[in-house]
Amino acid sequence: MRVLVVEDEPFLAEALQAGLRLEAIAADVALDGDDALERIAVNDYDVVVLDRDLPGTHGDDVCRVVARDHPGTRVLMLTAATRLQDKVGGFRLGADDYLTKPFELAELVVRLHALSRRPVAAAPPVLEHADLRLDPFRREAYRAGRYVRLTRKQFAVLHLLMQADGGVVSAETLLEKAWDEHADPLTTAPRVTVSTLRKALGEPDLITTVPGAGYRLGGADA
């Protein structure tokens, strides 16, 4: 296993590096966010042990880059904060695990091994199609960099279409996945939602209707 320890306190960073090496874990050290990004860009790390409060590029931004550009690399976030909302915020950034300071080296080692055994996700945390970006965890959608305000149903339908990666999604599938069991099977809700979703996303239209089959994402730039 190869690990990058990103910690701005030199003594702690060196202690972690030495301790991990004793556990047969190859560990590099970065003392700020800028150095971390440079190392992550050129090395294939299994896990990044990331202090959240860093000089230079903030730890949150480092986490975003890893989650977006290096889906095979896990992030174990370190912080002195103990509030639940801080931990939730870290996971929303793309962190895979969380460890609150102070901690024992033995616990860090166990968590690193657990992370290294996790299979790489089949799909990236952020889905992209043409100039459309969708973050399912944060419930955010962007078209050409512009934030698109969507209802819950519009977001669910768009998520299903993007997961299909250009494949056709039937109205029945949309109804099954985006509505609850109480939905009328004869309802026109999926068709209406697709129509309003088109308007929300703007031009050029990225949603193609396939007569008798359903809907798919298309577009000249796809």
Q: What single string gives the DSSP state of each residue in the chain?
A: -EEEEE-S-HHHHHHHHHHHHHTT-EEEEESSHHHHHHHHHHS--SEEEEESS-SSS-HHHHHHHHHHH-TTSEEEEEES---HHHHHHHHHHT-SEEEESS--HHHHHHHHHHHHHSPPPSS-SSEEETTEEEETTTTEEEETTEEE---HHHHHHHHHHHHTTT--B-HHHHHHHHS-TTS-TT--HHHHHHHHHHHHH-SSP-EEEETTTEEEE--TT-
pLDDT > 90 in the chain, percent: 51
- pLDDT tens sequence across 89-98: 677 788 899 8
pLDDT band at 43 (very low <50, low <70, confident <90, very high): confident
pLDDT of 9 strictly over 80 = yes
CA of 166: how far to CAs of 127, 198, 220, in Å? 12, 16, 12
Mean pLDDT of 15-25: 89
More confident residue, 91 or 201: 201
Highest mean pLDDT among 69-78, 113-122, 171-180: 69-78
Alpha-carbon distance 84 to 125, whole Å? 22
pLDDT of 123 strictly over 60 = no
pLDDT of 2 strictly over 80 = yes
Mean pLDDT of 159-169: 90
More confident residue, 124 or 160: 160
What pLDDT shows up at residue 42? 86
What pLDDT shows up at residue 85? 66
Mean pLDDT of 96-125: 81
pLDDT of 118 strictly over 90 = no
What pLDDT shows up at residue 141? 93
Lowest mean pLDDT among 52-66, 110-124, 203-217: 110-124
Mean pLDDT of 61-84: 84
What pLDDT shows up at residue 11? 94
Mean pLDDT of 122-151: 85
Alpha-carbon distance 52 to 54, whole Å? 6
Mean pLDDT of 25-35: 92
What pLDDT shows up at residue 222? 45
Mean pLDDT of 110-127: 75
What pLDDT shows up at residue 33? 94
